[in-house]
Structure formats: C-alpha cells, structure tokens
Amino acid sequence: MTARPEPAGFTVDYLIEAGGRLHGRLRVPGDKSISHRCVMLGSLAHGETQVSGLLEGEDVLATLAAFRAMGVEAEGPFDGSLRIRGAGLHGLRPPVAALDMGNSGTAMRLMAGILSGQVFDTVLTGDESLSRRPMGRVAEPLARMGARIDTAPGGRPPLRIHGGQRLQGIDYRLPVASAQVKSALLLAGLYAEGRTQVHEPAPTRDHTERMLRGFGYPVSTEGATISLNGGGTLTGCAIDVPADISSAAFFLVGAAISPGSDVILEHVGINPTRIGVLNILRAMGASIDELDRRMVGGEPVADLRVRGGHLRGITIPADQVPLAIDEFPALFIAAACAEGQTRLAGAGELRVKESDRIAVMAEGLARLGVETQETPDGILIEGGGLGTKRVAAEIDSHGDHRVAMAFAMAALRAGGRVRVRDCRNVATSFPGFPVLARHAGLAIRTAGPD
C-alpha cells in the first residue's frame, strides 16, 4: 500500500491502542531531502525537469510555492508527478512578498545559499518552530563568500538576504557535520567566482552532489572534500524519487520491536550517507534484509524486509550518528524495547531540530515507564521499561513530526492506550501516516483536541 494524505488540518492528536504487530508490503512517501533538491535544481535548470515519486508534504510544497513566487512555471504535483520549466540560474524574478518555508530547516538553509546569488532582495520566514531554529550556521559562512544576510537576534529567522552581492568561492571547513550547511555553500558556489570547497569532519548525506551531477554540473568529491566551480549551467532531466528512509524508519522500528511482525518496505533509498538507521538497528539485533538492490536516478534503492525479534542495547558508534541524525526519535523507541542500556553521544544537533529531540523524547519515554538520563549531546536509555506501566499515557510531541510518529509506534509495546498530542506537523514529511500505519496493523486513529 502507498501512503495517501488525509485532509489538511483534519486532526491534531493520535490515539493508539496498545499491542499488535505490523505486516504487509508498504511504500512510504518520497524522500524529503531529495524532493526539496528536485524542486530547487529543476527550477534553476535550463529546460524541463520531470519528477516522479515527489513527496507532496507541506515542506516540499512550501519550497515549490517559493519558486513559483519567483516566476518558475510548474505543473503538479499530481500523485507525485511534477513537471518544472526551469528559469536558469539567473532567471528568477523578485517575489512580491516574503517566502514562507513553513516548518523546513532544510528549505530555509538551502534557499539561503541560492538566494545569496540573486540580484534582488528576499526575506525567508517560517512557522513558529522554524523561527526558533539557528540559521547563523549558514549565514556566517555565506557572509565569508560575500553574501549579506540579516537575521533576527540569536541568528534566528526571518532571514533578510540582500541581492546584488558579488560572491567569491571559499575553502571552508565545517565545524560540525551538516549536509544542510554543505549544500547551502555548494549552491551559493554556483553563483560565485572561482572554486568553492567544503571539508566535512564526518560523512553527511550527499544528495546535493549526486543531483548536481545528474543535472550535468561537475562536482568533485575527494575524500572528505567536495568542491565545484561557479559559472556553469544546470540542464533539466528526469528524476525518480526513492521512498524516504527517514519515513521508513518508523515502520522498521515498529516491526523490529513487535514479535511476529513481517513488513516489506518498497523502493527505499539506501544512499550510503543515510543508512545509519539500518546499521544501528542491525547492531541491536534487528532482522533486516535488502531485496532487489538497484540504482534509480543515481541513488541506490532496495526493498527492505524487517521481522520482529529480540533487540539488545548498544553504545551507538560515533561514525553512525551523522548518518542517522533524523532517525533517532524512532531509534530511541527501539532502545526502550531492547535488553540492556543504549548510549548515544555526539548528537547535540538533536537539541536544535524541530524540537529539542533529546529532552522531548526523554519526557515522553518517562511517561511510558522508561528510565533515561540526558547528557548535553546524548542520552542513556534503559531498555525493558516500555510496557511495564500498565496505564494509558498521554505524550506531547511538541509539534515535532518525527517525535509524534515515533511515539505512535511505541504503542505496539506500551502497557495501555497512547495519546500523542499535537501531531499536525506530521503532514510536513509524511502525509497519510495514520492511514498507512493502520493498514500495516497499528491500531491508530485520529482525533481533535479535547
């Protein structure tokens, strides 16, 4: 079954009965990271770009609306199909109002790189959650390239980007591993004089580099250094977006923690820079098989079969942290069901996501009877506690889509019914999540607030 969106704004809470198992063949929505980049590069290319499998979540639609506001013509999306008539790198027009990036930090940071190279001024805004997220990490290195970006106090949105600046390529060493900062600099580098080089302290997702090459733009990757020269041209192409491994992660964990589960997740992107969730779950003892491995549009794809079994707590390897940064809310649920203790360190990035995911997950796990200990950049989770509290639990997702879906899956092992509050933002990354989860066997329904 494929996920289908429910009406926008239809519900805000999830009610999930305890217990059950997952089964069947499922296809989660298209990869959000790749979908954003399809829209961006397709809009900046010469000629037509045809996209299939596009994620029709609110974040991606906000990115598409921004480019339409700058004069880009696009048909769709209809059932994941989108046709973009690119304006070229220098063909965008000034928008008449601020560009609203909704809930998406990815969109705002990557757009900052693109808009730094335009001849007109722009303002980037977002929702309440995005307005609390740090943007100085992209504004500062972009300023080194010659960009002029004003932020709110603390380096927060909105971003006011002054056009008409002369950008110069830079040699930049990322202080922390961040695909978003890397991508923002590479996209600004398209408009810069000379060569832009970015050095990574650890591997991060490489969708931007892969897609630039797919659009015919030369990008060099030598070890931990990614570089390109400005002044080239993007050429429209066809792109088939794989299913999002970050969305698949909830079903991977749900099946892994519930004995008797057997799920096949179809057409999932298994880019080597994104498979930390698979590596970590396998290290915990999960049974995950990759079926029919293939390449689709330059991205590796496979069908993933996961079966329920016995998990054990582990110390999460440091080199896997940046490869699984978005999947940790789901992985925390796996840790709560494992035997023994799971330790995570080096993940301070989780504290500045859509919520403080370390604190918010610790708060929710405590309501389910799970003992945790927070650290500045990680958490210790004592396994075996989930389900020992034989009462209904109410959990606040704090408007974080990944937290909401993680706790929905936790109900499979909970001791009573789980109510997850404030789930509206799930539509930003996974429209139709309750429908697909119910089809797979999760006893979930949606309801308005009390």
By residue count, the chain amounts to 450
CA–CA dist 59, 401 (Å, integer):
12
- Measured CA distances, 102 to 43, 263, 283, 430 (Å): 19, 33, 36, 15
CA–CA dist 442, 51 (Å, integer):
31
- Residues marked as catalytic: 326
Q: Map tokens 């820079």 to a residue.
A: 273
CA–CA dist 164, 197 (Å, integer):
22
247, containing H or E segment: helix 245-257
Note whether 168 and 192 are within 8 A (CB): yes
- Can you read off the two tokens belonging to residue 149? 């970006």
Note whether 252 and 287 are within 8 A (CB): no
CA–CA dist 15, 444 (Å, integer):
6
- Measured CA distances, 434 to 7, 115, 211 (Å): 12, 36, 31
CA–CA dist 2, 8 (Å, integer):
18
Note whether 19 and 392 are within 8 A (CB): no
Ordered alpha helix ranges (H), 298-388: 328-337, 357-367
- Measured CA distances, 410 to 22, 256, 436 (Å): 12, 11, 16
According to DSSP, the β-strands at 393-396 and 372-375 are: unpaired
- Can you read off the two tokens belonging to residue 150? 């004003």
